[in-house]
Amino acid sequence: MVDYIGVAEIQRLVHSQGVARFIERLAGEIEADYARWAEFEKSVRVASHSERGVIELMPTSDGRFYSFKYVNGHPKNTAAGLLTVTAFGVLADVKTGYPLLLSELTVTTALRTAAISALAARYLARPGSRAMALIGNGAQSEFQAIGFHKMLGIRELRLFDVDGQASLKLERNLRALPELADLTIVRCTGTVQAVRGADIVTTVTADKRNAVILEPSMIEAGMHLNAVGGDCPGKTELHAAILQRSDARVIVEYEPQSRVEGEIQQLDADFAVTEFADIVRGARPGRVTPQDVTIFDSVGFALEDYSALRFLYTLLGEQRGARTQIDLVPRLDDPKNLFGGTLGNRRTSLRRVA
């Protein structure tokens, strides 16, 4: 029997911790895994592109566990009442090859994206950063706001989206959370107003195109840019000149993947970047001076999903009471008799535990 986490179960697990605490704990797991970067198999994700979007597989292993995530990105889905991004994942035992956990990752991906964003900002943003502009107020935005409030102490959030209803939705959802009572929320009329004087600027837009969300004139010395929305070939958010500033420091998760899918796809292959793992391990500096412009060119990496799946598996072990399991793999008296133990036997011994 294989442990299973569906939408209802992830709701229960997250609410048992609290959303902010869950993101913070998950960030700790991700940080610990980045600290042992050398133990992981690393590869660019396997992508299948279409006119409407992309479907990707993201695998990795540390030799003990293997994980993969299936994830899509279809920006036009919302017009049909569908999510832009959906995902599920598997955690398996390397020793036997048996799957241990099959889990939804649609909600969990939003949680882990917020966790890695806030974790990177802890290393890269100026100490005492309190004001953040959030450009793009769709499905990821609440998670980003909660994570940065909890982990960075953000107290002023400036919102802008080309769809004003998205900003209203975000503000309504955030104001309903008692733990965000000290958060000042300002809805802005444009990107320029939102980013002016901000310590941190998060861009998390959905359109699959080379957009220019941030212009060079908008960037002030000392800012930290959390560029989340660019995550596939032909999709960017920052003007290339921002990356090329003399005071800019560009940090990526896994350089070979970011060269294909990140903001740096706009630049020559010899453009210098720093991998986040080197900063976590102390091998390279992040921010050097208060005037540096730090840019976290985040596209998401399989290690972060590994961390999330392993964390969920751990939480299941901590929870008292029943856990949901599914008969994904046959249980046989004779492992050499697959036919006889399944199709040749009308009586089944498989069961669903809830």
Contact 149, 177 (CB under 8 A): no
Cα gap 91→65, rounded to integer Å: 7
Cα gap 92→215, rounded to integer Å: 44
Cα gap 49→78, rounded to integer Å: 18
Cα gap 337→343, rounded to integer Å: 10
Instruction: Dihedral sign for Cα 232, 236, 241, 247, please.
Output: negative
Provide the b/e sequence for 72-109 (b: ≥16 CB within 10 Å): bbbbebeeeeeebbbbbbbbbeeeeeebbbbbbbbbbb
Cα gap 153→26, rounded to integer Å: 17
| C-alpha torsion 272→277→283→289, nearest 10 | 60
Cα gap 257→243, rounded to integer Å: 17
> Is residue 231 among the annotated active site residues?
yes
- Please name which of 269, 276, 262, 212 lies closest in space to residue 241, comparing C-alpha atoms: 212
> Of the residues 62, 199, 231, 305, which is catalytic?
231
Maximum distance among all Cα pairs of the chain, rounded to whole angstroms: 72
3-state secondary structure labels for all residues of 339-352:
HHHCCCCCCCCCCC
Residues forming the active site: 231
